[in-house]
Amino acid sequence: MKKFRVLSALLLLSAALTALAQTAIPAAVISKAKSDTGLNTIALPPDWANYGEIIDSFQKKYGLKITNASPQASSGEELQAMRSLKGQKRGPDVIDVGPGFAIQAKGEKMLSVYKPATWASIPADAKDPDGAWMGNYFGVVSIGVNTDKVKTVPKTLKDLLRPEYKGMVALSGNPLTGQSPFSAVWAAAIANGGSLDNIQPGIDFFQKLKASGNYIPVQGTPAAIQSGQAPIVIDWDYLNLGYGQALKGKINYVTVVPSDAVLGGHYATAISAYAPNPNAAKLWLEYVASDEGQLLFLKGFAHPVRFNDMVKRGVIPKAMLDALPDAAVYAGVRFPTADQTKKAQDAMKANWAKQLQ
């Protein structure tokens, strides 16, 4: 029995060491990163997917100061910053954008190729095959509801057309420049007869929502939610869940994944081809793609892109798994391809402003 226990302990230790080895960041990458003056990030709100803690942890772990410019900037604004700050020391080293914007940046030759140590365990549909960008976390479109202001919680996106929601429904920003509001329109398309290949019904839906007076031109920020300006906000599940936690004791805020459209979306991180701190940028990609970085995303309710690999290897604490919403909610989640994203973006550019002016 004693030998069996010793053998079992050795096997467990071996498994743990193997798990660590699978996610080890190369020492050479860490060493070279420290030759840079710091790291310039952009558009990483502290309350978005737990980026506040991720930034703090990276700085403490590696002694590299992070300058996080324009925390509330959209994906489109991130690309513009890369263009306008090209050659400057304050230009962004890394970006965090929707896949469509990452594809656009690659097409403009604004990205450097880099594959972190955990590259193989990132799903193929969540990374560029050449290594120009990689998904780091994902969420699904959800409806956040301030129940102090809203009597009946909507269960579907179609429900939002009800007269009782007049002056209540907001997005997190402009669908033409932000991944979250863009995905909200796409989810509305799926809920109203459209598909991943046809976003037009979603544009039509928001046109009706605006005509009814339900859709309001208010950005669904935590401040707007708390004040009652935006009682209903369509946003990523991890953001709405995070808002609910942050506003606990101030308002009652619940998050619903609409049953008529479970649409998922990755966010992609990439290194700028003009990065003033390219070595620190490589270390950042290594860190957010490591087990440690991925668990920090999960702590912020965002699904880490390597979630399935980490579950299989048993490196996600049970308490963190238990804190997640019921897995059945996400059973029908769908993710668009690069071609579908490009097609949807083109349709939005052609029709959104024209129909909702």
* pLDDT average, residue stretch 305-322: 90
Greatest alpha-carbon pair distance for the chain in Å reads: 76
* pLDDT average, residue stretch 186-206: 98
150 pLDDT above the threshold of 90: yes
Specify which residues 145 forms β-bridges with. Answer: 232, 254
pLDDT digits (tens, 9 = 90+) for 48-90: 999 999 999 999 999 999 999 999 999 999 999 999 999 999 9
Q: Identify the residue whose tokens are 């973006």.
A: 345
DSSP secondary structure letter of residue 290 = S
Give residue 203's pLDDT. 98
Give residue 357's pLDDT. 78
Full-model pTM:
0.79
214 pLDDT above the threshold of 50: yes
pLDDT digits (tens, 9 = 90+) for 39-49: 999 999 998 99
State the CB neighbour count (10 A cutoff) for residue 350. Answer: 12
Please give the residue that has the higher pLDDT: either 95 or 357.
95
Give residue 23's pLDDT. 61
What SS3 class is residue 4? helix
| Cα distance between residue 47 and residue 224, in whole Å | 15
1 pLDDT above the threshold of 80: no
19 pLDDT above the threshold of 70: no
Give the chain's mean pLDDT: 91
Please give the residue that has the higher pLDDT: either 337 or 222.
222
